[in-house]
Amino acid sequence: MNQHILELGRIAIFGLFGLFGFGLVACGGGSDGGGVVSDGTTTSPGGGGTGGGGATLAAPAVTVSSPTANASLASASPVTVTFATQNFSVGGVNQPRLDFYLDDDPIRYTFINGTTNTVFYGGVPAQGAQWVTPTSFRLDNLSDGLHTVRLALVDAAGRELTNGEAGTARAFTVGVPFPTAPSVIVAGPAPNADVPGPVRVSFVVANHQIGPNGQPHMHFYIDGSAERHEYFDGAGITEENGVQLNGAHTHAVHWKSSTSIMLFGWAAGPHQIRFILADAGHGELANPEATQTVSFNITGTSDTSEFLLEPVLTGASAAGMAFAPDGKVFYADGHNGAGQGAVWIIDTVGGTWTRRPTPFYQTAVGSIGEQGLTGVAIDPNYAANGFVYAYFTAPGGGTNRLVRVRNVNDQAVEETVILDNLLAADQHNGGVLLFGPDGKLYVTVGEATLENLSQDLSSQNGKILRINSDGTIPADNPFQGSAVWSYGWRNSFGLAFHPATGDLWATDNGPTVDDEVNLVVKGGNYGWPLVTGNGGAPPLINPVYVLAQPVGITNIVALAETPVYPTKYHNNLFFTDFVGGKIRRLVLDPTFKSLVSDSIVFDGGVGGLVPLKQGPDGYLYTSGPGAFYRVVPNPGSMH
């Protein structure tokens, strides 16, 4: 890993949920799942999740018919694996295909149809596996004992599809009886394998029927944490409820299928998951076969990224951040795991970042899922009035609240409620705060998982609000007597005003795919839940940029001119993502209204990134699990 990248190593789950507080602060949507990736013939533009909008095509899927689950096969017999695909065609070289993995071997087998009709292993024709038919292959010379085979549909570029139906695992024995005790068997990744994020972890459960909450199920623990994740399956289980942490959906780990979970936004370095089967009352089974642990390494960033991340502060993470005119950084910490959220001050004198030992402002907060203290903003007249704004979920978790405090000797005083009773949920709460060049405060409010509210102009949920700094409604808002500036939003985690035009740009997270970057206009309807992505017709407004794969777009910046970055980056849009921890760049046309090109300028490795701000020194700053970073040009990259 490049020397500029902080090696976070083993991050306990508390690093994500304690320091980030609210699970994934950011994902709310686009990363809600892995989305359906095109196989060359079929896509799912509307996603799954809650609602969707637009036509949703069936997802690419693979199933195994033989050997049957938990089969016991004769010694020295070849094992033929027969599969079927739906909405996917297994093709030839450089076409969508099927890959599979055997036992704990990290090297993949590649199954090719077409004129080749071959199974490759590590890029050369396999010796122990043979192509049999377009839907079957044979495994030869398997030793006696327990075996697993994991199948994965792969696109033409060699990337595994991330929707849950696109992968499956099967366990069987050769020459010995299949275990009769309740058992969990990890099918991938291989022990200590190097894998890029996000990471699919596959398993097979035998002699134990995993059901919904209230029935027998499975627990798992990540990186030695005592915090228990619960895995459910069966009727009614989706990515929204199939994995829970503290009784709520978590964006850092998703249910993907009956045989897999997916980890999003985890830092590069070694990680470990311990699975253990559980009964209906959450009692963990005691037989040794009921527990299995897998260790693996998430690979880091390459040295070819245009930008690198330079750690400026470790041991803390931000849900939101804002720079004061004097260079201080105010950041929101989500929650501390004990029902408290805080705004902290970081001193940056001389370029050295030091966090104050006690919070600037602290309050009781709701702390389920994405809840907590998530937004912070600095008043345009801060030098004179000292006003700081904070957005948080009120205790009890039913509503979100915006308050204003005054900074006196770096302590918050004179708390004033600016907005209250904004409907809250365990996710989709919004909470991004940003003052515009007009001096008005813009606030994102999620639809609190009640998607119909986004189109309801009598509700402030699913909206971008525009208010005066005291909470009153500007006379020139588009809807008389309403704080609503635009509507049809699902869960926006990013606002930015363009330095050249003053235009407002906002991100929005789709249900599984279709994360968006939008140019916001006064009174505009951005379509949720009627459509996602570019599916809208007037008067609905389509996004300027859509990502078909799930990334969980978080914050966005329109880069003002600064000598610290080459001029080609000036006036570009940059946004962070949670799923891959990447920073992406959007180049706009000369009017700064339309997209010219997009690219990845930092390719991840430190975990999910949430806030992104341009500091007074001109640099971009961001935060991921356990650290704050300065975004610096890579001297080894071509600019």
| 4-32 pLDDT per residue, tens | 333 333 223 233 333 333 333 334 333 33
pLDDT, average across residues 162-166: 86
φ, ψ (nearest 5 deg) of residue 547: -105, 120
- pLDDT tens profile 98-120: 999 999 898 999 999 988 899 99
**Is 50 exceeded by the pLDDT of residue 260?**
yes
**Which tokens is 161 given?**
């599809």
pTM, 2 dp = 0.74
**Is 124 in a helix, a strand, or coil?**
strand
**Is 289 in a helix, a strand, or coil?**
helix
Q: How much is the pLDDT for 57?
A: 55
Q: How much is the pLDDT for 267?
A: 83
Whole-angstrom distance, CA of residue 300 vs CA of residue 563? 29
Q: 604 to each of 91, 141, 395, 600, how far by Cα in Å? A: 31, 41, 35, 9
- Of the listed ranges 211-215, 382-386, 558-562, 604-608, the least confidently predicted one is 604-608
Give the distance, in angstroms, between the CA of residue 572 and the centroid of all CA atoms in the same chain.
23
Q: How much is the pLDDT for 550?
A: 74
Q: 87 to each of 41, 44, 56, 534, how far by Cα in Å? A: 8, 11, 13, 23
pLDDT, average across residues 418-428: 95
Cβ–Cβ under 8 Å, residues 598 and 586: yes
**Is 50 exceeded by the pLDDT of residue 212?**
yes
Give the distance, in angstroms, between the CA of residue 15 and the centroid of all CA atoms in the same chain.
15
Model confidence at 161, pLDDT cuts 50, 70, 90, reads confident
Model confidence at 266, pLDDT cuts 50, 70, 90, reads confident
Mean pLDDT of the chain: 88
Max Cα distance, the chain (Å): 83
**Which tokens is 267 given?**
């830092």
**Is 80 exceeded by the pLDDT of residue 137?**
yes
Highest mean pLDDT, choosing among 181-195, 291-305, 470-484 = 470-484
Q: How much is the pLDDT for 130?
A: 96
| Pairing state between β 118-121 and 124-125 | antiparallel
Q: How much is the pLDDT for 283?
A: 97
φ, ψ (nearest 5 deg) of residue 452: -65, -25
**Is 80 exceeded by the pLDDT of residue 55?**
no
Whole-angstrom distance, CA of residue 97 vs CA of residue 92? 7
**Is 80 exceeded by the pLDDT of residue 580?**
yes
**Is 70 exceeded by the pLDDT of residue 594?**
yes
The dihedral sign for the CA sequence 583, 60, 207, 150: negative
Model confidence at 452, pLDDT cuts 50, 70, 90, reads very high
- pLDDT tens profile 517-527: 999 999 999 99
Model confidence at 213, pLDDT cuts 50, 70, 90, reads very high
- pLDDT tens profile 548-567: 777 889 999 999 999 999 99
| Residues near 464 by beta carbon (within 8 Å), at least 6 away in sequence | 442, 443, 444, 445, 484, 485, 486, 487, 489, 492, 495, 504, 506, 520
pLDDT, average across residues 237-265: 89
Query: What proportion of the chain, given as a percentage, has pLDDT over 70?
Result: 90
Strand locations in 181-306 (E): 183-188, 193-195, 199-206, 217-222, 229-231, 243-245, 248-249, 253-257, 260-263, 269-278, 291-298
pLDDT, average across residues 279-291: 97
pLDDT, average across residues 462-484: 97
Cβ–Cβ under 8 Å, residues 301 and 310: no
Query: What proportion of the chain, given as a percentage, has pLDDT over 90?
Result: 75
Amino acid at 321: M
- pLDDT tens profile 33-51: 333 222 333 333 233 333 3
Higher local confidence (pLDDT), 21 or 449:
449
Model confidence at 248, pLDDT cuts 50, 70, 90, reads confident
- pLDDT tens profile 310-347: 999 999 999 999 999 999 999 999 998 889 999 999 99
Q: How much is the pLDDT for 45?
A: 27
pLDDT, average across residues 442-457: 97
Q: How much is the pLDDT for 304?
A: 76
